[in-house]
Amino acid sequence: MRLYDIQLPSRLMLGTAQYPSPSVLTEAIAASGAAVVTVSLRREAAGAPGANGFWALIRQTGARILPNTAGCHSVTEAVTTARMAREVFGTDWIKLEVIGHADTLQPDPFALVEAARILTAEGFAVLPYTTEDLIVGERLLEAGCRVLMPWGAPIGTGRGLRHAEALATMRQHFKDVPLIVDAGLGAPSQAAQAMEMGFDGVLLNTAVARAGDPVAMARAFGLAVAAGRLAHEAGLMPPRDMAAPSTPVLGLADLGLGGLP
C-alpha cells in the first residue's frame, strides 16, 4: 500500500488505545503485522507521567506513527491538535477527525473539509476520517487530501460494513484514490469483506484491544486483511441467480435403460 509516496509493507492500521497492558499492545502490533499505528495526543498528553515511555514503546515496534485528532469537535481544536502532534511526533502525517455528533461520532463534513484545507496548505499529509458520502470525498480531495478514510460503522460499534453498497459505490467512484475503511469493524471477516471489495486497507482498534486475547485477534485481522486483498487481486467470481454445475454434463455415462431386457 502506498500513501503519500510512502510504501507500506502492510494494509492493516491499528489503534493503540484500550489495551490491558503495554506489553499486550506491543505483542498485538507485532502479531498483526500492522505497518501504521495511530496515537491520540489528546488521550495521552505529552507531558503526563509515563507518556514519554509510551511514545518510546510505540517507536520500538517499528510501525509508522499516525497521530490523530480524536475528540476534536471544531476546526480550531483539530488544527491546533495537529500542529502540536507534528511537534511531538516529528511527522507531517495526521489522521484528521472532526466530530459532529456526540452519540454516533459522525464526522462534521463542513469542519472536516475546512480543517483539511488548512492543514494541507501547511504541509500536512492528511488522512481524513469521513463517511461514504461522495460529495464530501470530492471536497476533501479538492482541499488537498490524497487519501480518504470512510467509516464502516460508528466508532467502537463492531457493526462492520453497515452501508456496504454505498462503500462499494465509493470504491468505484474514486478508482485511483487510496481508500481505507476506518472504524466500526468488529470481526476479521468484516475486514476481509472490505478488502475483497477493493479497499486499500483497514484501520481498527476496539475489536483487537477489547478481545479476550488481543494478540490472537490481532493476528486474525492481519491474516484476514491479507486474504481479502489476495482474493480481490485474484478476481472474485460474480454472483449468479441460478445454480451452475461444477461438473460438465458432456461425457457422463448414459444410464438409460434402452436395449436392456
Domain limits, the chain: 9-233
Q: How far apart are CA 140 and CA 120, in angstroms?
A: 10
Q: Is the Cβ–Cβ distance between 25 and 19 less than 8 Å?
A: yes
**Host H or E run for residue 208:** helix 206-209
Cell numbers standing for residue 246:
461444477
Residue 210, number of CB atoms within 10 A of its CB? 16
What per-residue confidence (pLDDT) applies to 47?
A: 47
Cell numbers standing for residue 235:
478476481
120 is in an annotated binding site: no
For residue 79, give the nearest of 16, 45, 126 by alpha carbon: 126
Distance from chain centroid for Cα 244:
36
100 is in an annotated binding site: no
Burial (Cβ within 10 Å: 0-12, 13-18, ≥19) of residue 51: middle
What per-residue confidence (pLDDT) applies to 256?
A: 64
205 is in an annotated binding site: yes
SS3 64: strand
206 is in an annotated binding site: yes
227: phi then psi, degrees, rounded to nearest 5: -65, -45
For residue 137, give the nearest of 104, 108, 109 by alpha carbon: 109
Catalytic residues: 95
Cell numbers standing for residue 24:
499486550
Cell numbers standing for residue 21:
497492558
Q: How far apart are CA 98 and CA 198, in angstroms?
A: 26
Residue 4, number of CB atoms within 10 A of its CB? 14
What per-residue confidence (pLDDT) applies to 255?
A: 65
Q: How far apart are CA 223 and CA 188, in angstroms?
A: 8
Q: pLDDT tens digits for the chain (261 residues)? A: 999 999 999 999 999 999 999 999 999 999 999 999 999 876 555 444 455 677 788 888 889 999 999 999 999 999 999 999 999 889 999 999 999 998 889 999 999 999 999 999 999 999 999 999 999 999 999 999 999 999 999 999 999 999 999 999 999 999 999 999 999 999 999 999 999 999 999 999 999 999 999 999 999 999 999 999 999 999 999 888 888 888 776 666 666 655 555
What per-residue confidence (pLDDT) applies to 257?
A: 55
71 is in an annotated binding site: no
> pTM, whole model, 2 decimals?
0.89
How many angstroms separate the Cα of 64 from the Cα of each of 59, 92, 100? 8, 12, 28
Task: Look up the CATH architecture of domain 9-233.
Answer: Alpha-Beta Barrel (3.20)
Q: What angle do CA 38, 42, 7 make, to 5 degrees?
A: 20
Location of C-alpha cell 491520540: 40
